[in-house]
Amino acid sequence: MKGTLRLAGLACASLLVSSIILASDNAWAGPKIVSGPGANPGCFKPWSDQTKFFQWDKKPGPYKIALVNGFVGNTWRIQMVKTAKAFAEQPGIKENIKEFKVVSTGTDVAAQLGAMEDFINQGFDAIVTIAVAPDGFDRIIRLADKNNVVVVPFDNILDTDKVMMVNEDQKEMGRMSGRWLIDQMGKHAGSLLEVRGLPGNSVDRDRHLGFREIVEAPGNKFDITEVVGNWDTGTSQKVTADALAVHGHFDGIFTQGGSDGTVQALISAKHPFVPMSGEGENEYRKQIGEYSKDGLKGMSYGQSPALVAIATKAAISALQGNVMPQLISIPIPVATYKDLKPGVNYWPDLNASFFAPNQFLPCGVNFTAPEIMAQSEKNSQ
């Protein structure tokens, strides 16, 4: 009987200790959910009227902030890293940053999670990140919350509402591309080429789903050829060339990136120009400007590398204790062959690979090409 009572006492003590440890672990449980409106709504616009609002405890600055990128093997990612470094040096931002580190970890989720954990353990205040995958980050989010670290995924965001995120509406990019092609082709049947992005990312998935939602709607009878271009000019050119060699002809093209490579493949194959929706590369916009009279009826939507600047600005605002939307919506910059203007939304004299949309004036984000290109894409650890 005494043994039973002693075991019961030990069990109760163990339960009490566990409860204390659990309570300690949950002493900081992440941001509070509060009522809106949020700070600077012209810049930090809630995604919808259903978007909830977060508020973190105010921390004294300046702050230690890290950019944990994944893949860095294309023009967009290189420009994004350079933009992040340029933004961290701008007046009004520089004063709020004690230390700014950049690391690109490749396409392995475990490597990215490991880098984020390392920055949390080093005492960084915020981490902005392009997620390698849309899920698998729950443990890191809990660790960040426990350590009062603000995590801000942008571009490739996560399938969660537990962190503040910044993005443009990727599905709408796919939808607008589908609508554009149908309108410019003037028909609801034919052969389409879809050049997808980097596999496994939420951006690639959502753009694809939005595009298919439109072109596969009832009443449409399109034959769609799908290839993977990795958002990269060289890869997109190769897979487009291969598709042309196999299928011979397409009536319209939707490409997620490496758009200039897709156009170059058409030129090399002597394929007639067709309506095309592509990304915001300056080279692609130059091609539209040059070849629109020959049939390249192009639309260029912009997933701007300057999203990293808005994500960084949002992280600083959150650390300062401001109320912030959980999901921040950034307008989609769009230009077509009808409204391209040299020196305004593309630069004919700029030969370097460069994404043209880099202005978000309500956020005070306005970069020049020299500011960005002067930076390095290398890790700064």
| 101-112 confidence digits (pLDDT tens) | 999 999 899 999
> Looking at the predicted structure, is the pLDDT value of residue 12 above 50?
no
Q: Confidence class of residue 380 from pLDDT cuts 50, 70 and 90?
A: confident
pLDDT at site 181: 98
pTM of the model: 0.78
Q: Confidence class of residue 122 from pLDDT cuts 50, 70 and 90?
A: very high
Neighbours of 361 (CB within 10 A): 9
pLDDT at site 352: 66
> Looking at the predicted structure, is the pLDDT value of residue 3 above 80?
no
> Looking at the predicted structure, is the pLDDT value of residue 22 above 90?
no
pLDDT at site 74: 79
Tell me the C-alpha distance between 74 and 296, whole Å: 24
Share of the chain above pLDDT 70, in %: 92
pLDDT at site 151: 98
> Looking at the predicted structure, is the pLDDT value of residue 17 above 50?
no
> Looking at the predicted structure, is the pLDDT value of residue 59 above 90?
yes
Summarised one tens digit per residue, pLDDT across range 143-172 is 999 999 999 999 988 999 999 999 999 999
Please give the single-letter amino acid code of residue 193: L
Rounded to an integer, the average pLDDT of 26-55 is: 89
Tell me the C-alpha distance between 10 and 5, whole Å: 9
Summarised one tens digit per residue, pLDDT across range 185-231 is 999 999 999 999 989 888 899 999 999 999 999 999 999 999 999 99
**Least confident among 31-40, 55-64, 305-314, 372-381:** 372-381
